[in-house]
């Protein structure tokens, strides 16, 4: 089965080619959607086969590299089109193909009747192929192809409704910000390659070869430079401070795109990349600290913005940014498997949340369209009381919300609590650890608050939709609700494979599964982290209890404000107008970036256009022409049009020449 | 036939008349005839020198010049007819499109 790993990216590629080249002619939506879904489902089956085979192997043999074909061999440099299968990439391909299949299926229903249906599925398949290349690549270059490919597909899909200016702008913003990150990724890659090559004559970009040679890397120094560059790449792709503002705007794309690309898979690429190179990152305590701080800061920063947004998808977008912050926090405190675990559970419940919001929007849009209303179908202020009209969507949405809020028994609790516990207990950053934990805990409280605010505003209370449209609200078709139910179920049970040891019911399969991948990183960390004084079980229990209390507090506040006493939010806004305005306007980060980067860039562009291009470049070109024209303006008077003038000048010329030869 | 000078003088006079004609006349046919006059003045010089020096090379040149003049007359007359068809005139002052 391992030998067939190349089939996994190949199937979506075939789907992309079929739908991309012939989709316009096929026209039949069932065929186009069927091909797209089938292809990614086939990849899922192959991934399952690989997972089964890997489970059958003893842990130390769970690494396999498959060279599909030699790619670039030039001097010292060698990069093959090769795939790496280990427990980490195994989890990633399962998430990408599994969630991907469900979202493809959902899209058949959601995108029904859209113009460019085939285009959507072609891009979606291309995205899956790129993402699979990213997670399977056995060297940094293959990973980079995938890295760029997912960025491209993200751009294409955000701008899917390209006739809307806002969608085009959002797509460009996402692309440009990702490019900033990609630049960091490349510099990091070059730095690492150059250091190994020039110091130890190991010219390699292959992960396994770097891992084997990683004991040569110093602590800090050049590793800090390289890993910080890689981390810049990760912030771009995974929407962390400072490069996070593109993700909320990316909600201009169709909802399945938000679920697949901007919640479950692509945005986790940065987390995956750090996990993949954990043995390099952990060698730089400084970088680890930067990652942890940025992660925690993003988690709380985005969570605060999420509390004041009214667009249902924007709330989820900020929630995604915040949850990604949790993952980076985990990476930064050396809790790699907890981070990857949260990546997986987040993929389940956030995909479910996005698809659920898509189902709501679908129904709202339909109902508002029927009465020719131009109300915003995504604005939660137009919703309310949808519980009875859309029971399946409601239940799955509620389950996922409970999971993300961190209520025990649901997947989000296990993963998020593990991260918070490790942020507290892994003594990577000394006194900073308690700050990291505290920030994470407050962010978790905000998470519970804004998610339940969303649920209460959407599904509970009085219906605020135009009364005429109310009777048109209905549950979505099965093709939409089946993925919701599957993902909802996963949001509940997905956490049990990674249950913390202390709960004692099940061993933490997930951590053991990833042990071989992260063992080396943990070993390196012993150099500057002492794991000797392990906090007691009592402390772990009490922190766990505390985080449950925190989540309940968040839910309680949301309940009070949006169900019991709905006048409270208005009063709150009236009491703190400045605070509300700042949060509502996303802390003015976009405006700050406009001021700091966008406007200076525009001014520079204006100068280069009006100053340099028009005056200097055009000046030189036009100047040459003007000089020629000036001279010809003088000489053209010789061209009198009278034949005898020409004849006379010829005769005079002959006389002069003869005279010269005779009298010289 | 001993006096080379008188031939050269006649030739020079003919050449000058031709040159002045080319420079002053407007009628294309007249200009053409003046050019023929210049060519034949030169021919006369060639023949006179040939005779004087006892060398036939000059007379060979004259044949060439007559051939070229014939060809030139054919092309020139064709041009003049084409021009006349367009402008109903053979005045060279009307051939003035190529000026500033």
**Residue A21 forms contact with B (CB below 8 Å):** no
Pick the residue from chain A with its C-alpha nearest to B19.
A651
Q: CA A197 to CA A133: how far, in whole Å?
A: 26
Chain A residues close to B23, C-beta within 8 Å = 644, 647-648, 651
CA distance from start to end of chain A: 99
Domain borders along chain B are 4-92
Chain A residues close to B100, C-beta within 8 Å = 636-637, 639-641
Do A108 and A479 contact (CB within 8 A), yes or no? yes
pLDDT tens digit sequence for A194-210:
999 999 988 989 999 99
The structure tokens 């029971």 sit at: A391
- Regions of chain B where pLDDT drops below 50: none
Q: Where are the alpha helices (DSSP H) in A460-533?
A: 467-470, 478-493, 509-525
Chain B residues close to A647, C-beta within 8 Å = 22-23
Pick the residue from chain B with its C-alpha nearest to A649.
B23
Nearest CB to B23; choose among A636, A641, A647: A647
Specify the pLDDT at position B2: 65
Q: How close A650 gets to chain B, by Cα (Å)? A: 10
Pick the residue from chain A with its C-alpha nearest to B15.
A651
Write a three-state SS string for A369-401.
Answer: HHCCCCCCCCEHHHCCCCCCCCHHHHHHHHHHH
Q: What are phi and psi for residue A163, nearest 5 degrees?
A: -75, -15
Contact B24 A644 (CB under 8 A): yes
3-state secondary structure of A505: coil
Paired tokens of A519: 């063992």
Specify the pLDDT at position B71: 94
Q: CA A545 to CA A549: how far, in whole Å?
A: 6
Contact A642 B93 (CB under 8 A): yes
Instruction: Give, for A361, the enclosing helix (H) or strand (E).
Output: helix A336-370
Do A589 and A246 contact (CB within 8 A), yes or no? no
Contact A641 B96 (CB under 8 A): yes
Specify the pLDDT at position A531: 63
Mean pLDDT in consecutive groups of 10 residues from the start of chain A, 664 residues: 90 95 89 94 95 90 90 89 93 94 94 90 95 94 94 94 93 93 94 92 91 90 93 94 91 92 92 94 92 95 92 94 95 92 94 94 89 86 87 94 91 90 84 90 94 92 84 88 94 84 73 88 83 72 90 92 85 86 86 91 93 92 94 86 84 93 90
Q: How close B28 gets to chain A, by Cα (Å)? A: 10
Maximum Cα–Cα distance for chain A, whole Å? 123
Q: Where are the alpha helices (DSSP H) in chain B?
A: 4-24, 28-53, 57-87
Q: A70 pairs with which residues across the strands?
A: A80
Q: Over chain A, what is the mean pLDDT? A: 90
Pick the residue from chain B with its C-alpha nearest to A650.
B23
Q: CA A224 to CA A179: how far, in whole Å?
A: 21
Q: What are phi and psi for residue A82, nearest 5 degrees?
A: -135, 150
Chain A residues close to B19, C-beta within 8 Å = 651
Torsion (CA) A487, A488, A493, A497 in degrees, nearest 10: 30
Nearest CB to A651; choose among B19, B96, B97: B19
Nearest CB to B100; choose among A639, A648, A651: A639
Q: Which of A417, A451, A411, A399 is nearest to A547 (CA)?
A: A417
Instruction: Give, for A77, the enclosing helix (H) or strand (E).
Output: strand A77-85
State the pTM of this model. 0.82
Nearest CB to A648; choose among B23, B95, B100: B23
Instruction: Give the orientation angle of helix A285-306 with respect to helix A432-459, to 10 degrees.
Output: 30
Pick the residue from chain A with its C-alpha nearest to B35.
A647
CA distances from A634 to A285, A623, A626, A627, B98 (A): 76, 17, 13, 11, 16
Instruction: Give, for A64, the enclosing helix (H) or strand (E).
Output: strand A64-74
pLDDT tens digit sequence for A309-345:
999 999 999 999 999 999 999 999 988 999 999 999 9
Instruction: Calculate the CA A338 to chain-centre distance.
Output: 19
Chain A, residues 585-644, CB within 8 A of chain B, namely: 636-637, 639-644
The hierarchical CATH code for the domain B4-92 is 1.10.287.3510
Q: CA A117 to CA A110: how far, in whole Å?
A: 10
Mutation site, B15, B21, B22, interface A, largest A CB count within 10 A: B22
Q: What is the ipTM of this complex?
A: 0.78
**Eight-state DSSP code of residue A610:** I
Do A428 and A417 contact (CB within 8 A), yes or no? no
Mutation site, A647, A652, A654, interface B, largest B CB count within 10 A: A647
Ramachandran bin of A154, using left for φ above 0, alpha for ψ from -120 to 50, beta for the remaining angles: alpha
CA within 13 Å, CB half, A468: 7
Chain B residues close to A651, C-beta within 8 Å = 19, 23
Q: CA A320 to CA A250: how far, in whole Å?
A: 12
Contact A651 B95 (CB under 8 A): no
What is the rounded radius of gyration, in angstroms, for the C-alpha atoms of chain B? 17
3-state secondary structure of A73: strand
Q: Between A and B, how many residue pairs show a Cβ–Cβ distance under 8 A? A: 29
Specify the pLDDT at position A247: 93
Chain B residues close to A641, C-beta within 8 Å = 95-100
Q: Which of A146, A511, A112, A142 is nearest to A341 (CA)?
A: A511
Nearest CB to A637; choose among B23, B31, B100: B100
Q: Which stretches of chain B sit within 8 Å of chain A by CB? A: 19, 22-24, 31, 92-93, 95-100
Distant-in-sequence, close-in-space partners of A451: CB < 8 Å, separation ≥ 6? A315, A319, A401, A404, A405, A558
Chain B residues close to A636, C-beta within 8 Å = 100
Contact A651 B99 (CB under 8 A): no
């Amino acid at each position: 089965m391992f030998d067939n790993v190349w089939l996994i990216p190949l199937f979506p590629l075939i789907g992309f080619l079929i739908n991309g080249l012939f989709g316009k002619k096929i026209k039949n939506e069932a065929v186009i959607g069927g091909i797209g879904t089938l292809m990614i489902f086939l990849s899922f089956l192959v991934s399952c086969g690989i997972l089964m085979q890997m489970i059958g192997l003893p842990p130390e043999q769970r690494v396999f590299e498959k060279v599909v074909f030699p790619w670039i061999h030039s001097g010292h440099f060698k990069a093959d089109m090769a795939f790496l299968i280990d427990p980490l990439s195994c989890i990633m391909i399962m998430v990408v193909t599994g969630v991907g299949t469900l979202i493809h299926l959902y899209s058949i229903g959601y995108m029904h009747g859209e113009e460019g249906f085939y285009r959507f599925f072609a891009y979606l398949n291309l995205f899956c192929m790129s993402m699979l290349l990213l997670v399977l690549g056995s060297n940094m270059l293959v990973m980079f192809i995938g890295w760029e490919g997912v960025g491209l597909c993200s751009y294409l899909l955000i701008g899917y409704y390209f006739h809307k200016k806002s969608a085009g702008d959002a797509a460009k913003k996402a692309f440009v910000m990702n490019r900033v990150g990609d630049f960091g990724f490349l510099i990091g890659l070059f730095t690492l390659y150059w250091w190994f090559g020039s110091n130890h004559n190991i010219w390699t970009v292959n992960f396994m070869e770097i891992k084997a040679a990683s004991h040569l890397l110093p602590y800090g120094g050049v590793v800090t430079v390289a890993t910080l560059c890689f981390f810049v790449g990760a912030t771009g792709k995974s929407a962390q401070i400072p490069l996070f503002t593109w993700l909320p705007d990316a909600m201009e794309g169709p909802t399945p795109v938000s679920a697949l690309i901007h919640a479950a898979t692509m945005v986790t690429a940065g987390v995956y990349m750090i996990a993949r190179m954990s043995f390099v990152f952990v060698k730089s305590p400084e970088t680890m600290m930067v990652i942890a701080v940025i992660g925690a800061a993003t988690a709380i920063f985005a969570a605060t913005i999420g509390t004041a947004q009214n667009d249902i998808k924007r709330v989820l977008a900020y929630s995604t940014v915040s949850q990604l912050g949790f993952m980076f926090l985990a990476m930064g405190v050396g809790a790699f498997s907890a981070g990857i675990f949260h990546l997986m559970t987040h993929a389940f419940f956030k995909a479910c949340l996005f698809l659920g919001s898509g189902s709501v929007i679908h129904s709202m849009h339909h109902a508002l369209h029927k009465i020719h209303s131009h109300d915003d179908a995504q604005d939660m202020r137009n919703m309310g009381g949808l519980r009875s009209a859309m029971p399946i969507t409601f239940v799955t949405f509620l389950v996922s919300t409970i999971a993300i809020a961190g209520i025990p028994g649901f997947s989000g609790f296990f993963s998020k609590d593990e991260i918070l516990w490790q942020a507290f207990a892994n003594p990577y950053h000394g006194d900073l650890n308690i700050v990291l934990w505290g920030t994470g805990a407050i962010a978790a409280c905000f998470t519970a608050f804004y998610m339940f605010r969303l649920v209460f505003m959407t599904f509970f209370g009085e219906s605020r939709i135009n009364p005429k449209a109310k009777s048109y609200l209905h549950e979505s078709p099965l093709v939409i609700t089946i993925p919701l139910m599957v993902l909802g179920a996963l949001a509940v049970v997905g956490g049990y494979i990674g249950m913390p040891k202390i709960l004692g019911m099940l061993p933490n399969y997930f951590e053991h599964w990833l042990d071989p991948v992260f063992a080396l990183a943990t070993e390196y960390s012993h150099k500057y982290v002492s794991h000797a004084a392990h906090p007691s079980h009592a402390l772990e229990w009490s922190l766990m209890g505390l985080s449950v209390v925190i989540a309940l507090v968040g839910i309680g506040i949301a309940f009070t404000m949006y169900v019991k006493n709905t006048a409270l939010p208005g009063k709150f806004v009236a009491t703190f107008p400045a605070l509300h305005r700042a949060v509502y306007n996303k802390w003015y980060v976009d405006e700050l970036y406009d001021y700091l980067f966008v406007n200076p860039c525009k001014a520079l562009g204006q100068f280069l256009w009006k100053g340099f291009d028009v005056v200097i470049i055009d000046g030189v070109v036009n100047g040459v022409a003007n000089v020629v024209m000036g001279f010809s303006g003088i000489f053209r008077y010789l061209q009198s049009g009278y034949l005898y003038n020409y004849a006379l000048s010829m005769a005079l010329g002959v006389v002069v020449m003869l005279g010269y030869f005779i009298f010289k | 036939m001993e006096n080379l000078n008188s031939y050269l003088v006649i030739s020079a006079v003919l050449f000058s008349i031709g040159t002045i004609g080319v420079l002053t006349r407007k009628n294309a046919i007249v200009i053409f005839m003046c050019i023929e006059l210049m060519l034949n003045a030169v021919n006369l010089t060639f023949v006179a020198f040939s005779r004087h020096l006892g060398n036939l090379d000059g007379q060979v040149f004259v044949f060439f010049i007559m051939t070229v003049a014939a060809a030139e007359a054919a092309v020139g007359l064709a041009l003049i007819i084409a021009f006349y068809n367009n402008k109903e005139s053979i005045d060279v002052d009307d051939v003035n499109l190529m000026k500033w």
